[in-house]
Amino acid sequence: MELRQLRYFVAVAEELHFRRAAERLFISTPTLSQQVRAIEREVGGPLLIRGNHGVELTAAGEVLLTSARTVLEAADVALRETRAVARPGQAVFRLGVVNGAPQWLPGRIEALLKARQPGVRVALTTGTSGDQARLLDRDEVDLAVLRLPVRLAEHLTHTPIADEELGIVMSRENPLAAAGSVEPARLGDHELIMFARDAAPEVHDSVLAQLRERGAAVVLSDSAMSHAQMLQLLPLRPDSIGVGSARTAAMPGLVWRPLHPRPLLITYAAAWRATTRNPLLHTMADALSGGLRLSSD
């Protein structure tokens, strides 16, 4: 049985339709059907139940689908990791970065990568912390930068790499904007607008807990939205506040004020698959796990 045949079978098993699978593979339907029948002859029994409106997997087909996906993933990983060693000047490092991370952070990671392997090309993918965890789990990125706390699968490992101070973002018309900093006790009369909890539940709960530990009896808004949407809305709502970094002060109509006396911090972490055989990732993991902290300086 060849890898090509396994890819054909997986396409049919996922599409449950020969024509759609053939279109996905850019081959003819008769050719695809012949290859699947060849696999069935080799395994000694039917893998699919063919009908007028599509196909269904037999019990043997279900077993082969699970195993075939594992084999194909292993083959793809082996090829990618071998190429990284054989052609270091053409290596591609897949870096995932959480939305809203400081712009300098991926730049610092890329500099570390290129110091260890000159010529490496970095392919960047952005998304929420949950997105990054899923990409890691599916081996679609080599290293992911996400916010802590976050829940990761057991085969993923992480280490803190950077901290950023968060403060209160508000309209220039907000009465709190007149002071150079904000005491948490003064936030009780303000509606706090945050992102939807489903996007990053651990981070959402951590930010609220830190505010309340500092004495901020915040009232969480019924409106949940992205960080970018919040920044667009706040200038129009002088009685509402948000949480963000000092970078938000550059937005028209907004001011940023730190919390006093205890600042609010968010921690960024680098995460990767513990079982990786990527030599460049190993050197990066060793450097980052050794307590290295990145900063904008």
Write out pLDDT tens, residues 151-167: 898 889 999 999 999 99
Confidence of residue 87 (pLDDT cuts 50, 70, 90): low
Residue 55: beta bridge partners?
50
Residue 236: beta bridge partners?
none
Is the preceding peptide bond at 30 cis, omega within 30 degrees of 0?
A: no
pLDDT of 296 reads 83
Portion of the chain with pLDDT greater than 70, in percent = 97
Taking the CA atoms of the chain, what radius of gyration do you get in angstroms? 25
Domains of the chain plus CATH, in order, are 3-74 (1.10.10.10), 86-162+267-289 (3.40.190.10), 163-266 (3.40.190.290)
pLDDT of 89 reads 59
The span from the CA of 208 to the CA of 222, in Å, is 14
CB atoms within 10 A of CB 180: 8
Confidence of residue 75 (pLDDT cuts 50, 70, 90): confident
**Torsion over CA: 124, 193, 230, 213 (sign):** negative
Residues 71-98 have a mean pLDDT of 79
Phi, psi of 242 (to 5 degrees): -135, 175
Confidence of residue 79 (pLDDT cuts 50, 70, 90): confident
The span from the CA of 67 to the CA of 53, in Å, is 26
Residue 132's nearest CA partner among 121, 144, 149 is 144
Residues 250-261 have a mean pLDDT of 94
CB atoms within 10 A of CB 222: 7
Single pTM value for the model: 0.72
105-120: pLDDT as tens digits: 999 999 998 888 888 8
Which residues lie closer than 8 Å to 35 by C-beta, 6 or more apart?
A: 4, 5, 8, 9
271-289: pLDDT as tens digits: 999 888 788 888 888 888 8
Phi, psi of 198 (to 5 degrees): -60, -25
